[in-house]
Amino acid sequence: MPKNQLSQRLVFAVDLGGTHLRVALVDDTGKILQHLKQETPRAESPDDILDALVSAKREWDCDNQPVVAASIMVPGAVDCDKAVVVQAPNLPSLINFELKAELEKRLGWPVFLENDANAAAVGEMWLGAARGCHDVVSVTLGTGVGGGVILNGKLWRGSHGSAGEIGHTTVDPFSGLKCKCGNTGCLELFASATAIVRMARELGMKAPTAEEVYEAGRNADEQALSVFKRFGMYLGIGLANLINLIDPQVIVITGGAVNGWDLFADEMYRQVGERAFRAIAQQVKIARSECGDNAGLLGAARLAFEQE
Ligand SMILES: [Zn+2]
């Protein structure tokens, strides 16, 4: 090993998504040295997920590398003290499973768990659109809508591990639409990839994926454009609430649906301008993710380096 690599530390970072399982070896400058992506095993027990991680460790010869910890991001609420997942609608096999203890046994490193949107916020503050900021909110527009809050440079997890769940704040109590959290009219029902598909179908579009609705919008299809306008309207309402509540320096928008930015941003800004305190809203930057898909993996790694 060359001399300049002797002080290098690595984290085995895992993005345990509802759809994809991604694993990366990340060094302490944020460089991704190894990366793999596969479909998330969805059996009733989490054994296949554990097996996939153990085999990545073996394949990358991690025993002969300076790995200091594993950091796992999960799509749900994490009780960081007890180190278990307490809510994960897309990966029910993990709920109350002793994930940390089991992984520490199988991988042989200290294991940290974190909510995926929290990790994304940390990743963007470390190496992305929130670099140099200390009051940061990230909003992840994916299959659902997640949020991460950083205050004074520290992740704000809340008293029970579920702070920042902006996706489940109410933006339209009269819509009659039921959310999987049990509430009605949640932001997630209007500003997620799932919502794009549903709203398009409501207009009679035959578009099975959010990407197809986006493509139609780029080709000036009026129905697709109205879907994204509605998306932007509700997102803007949610962001205005966030700005009045938290007054961050920057809100970073991450997740797959951020690709539709050009089609929803005008309406989003219009709503923010109308609803948030004007003098404050003019100073809060609303930025697109700079880390893209890797925001969470990088943030998970950073959190592990800090705690290790
Ligand atoms: Zn909800």
Q: What is the pLDDT of residues 193-226, one digit of tens each?
A: 999 999 999 999 997 899 999 999 999 999 999 9
Q: From ligand 1's centre to the CA of 178, what distance in Å?
A: 8
* pLDDT score, position 1: 45
CA dist 171 and 202 (Å) reads: 19
Is the Cβ–Cβ distance between 108 and 117 less than 8 Å?
no
Residues of the chain with pLDDT below 70 are 1-7
Task: Say if strands 67-74 and 10-16 run parallel, antiparallel, or are unpaired.
Answer: parallel
What CA–CA distances, in Å, run from 139 to 58, 81, 223, 238? 34, 24, 25, 10
Q: From ligand 1's centre to the CA of 130, what distance in Å?
A: 27
User: CB under 8 Å to 86, separation ≥6 — which residues?
Assistant: 76, 77, 78, 79, 95, 96, 161
Q: From ligand 1's centre to the CA of 110, what distance in Å?
A: 33
Q: From ligand 1's centre to the CA of 114, what distance in Å?
A: 20
* pLDDT score, position 7: 62
Q: At what angle do helices 210-218 and 222-246 cross, to 10 degrees?
A: 110
Q: From ligand 1's centre to the CA of 8, what distance in Å?
A: 42
Q: What is the pTM of this model?
A: 0.92
Q: From ligand 1's centre to the CA of 162, what distance in Å?
A: 13
Tokens 């895992």 — which residue? 14
Q: From ligand 1's centre to the CA of 282, what distance in Å?
A: 29
Q: From ligand 1's centre to the CA of 145, what distance in Å?
A: 9
CA dist 165 and 173 (Å) reads: 17
Q: From ligand 1's centre to the CA of 106, what distance in Å?
A: 34
* pLDDT score, position 6: 52
* pLDDT score, position 3: 43
Q: From ligand 1's centre to the CA of 222, what distance in Å?
A: 28
Q: From ligand 1's centre to the CA of 32, what distance in Å?
A: 34
Is the Cβ–Cβ distance between 288 and 129 less than 8 Å?
yes
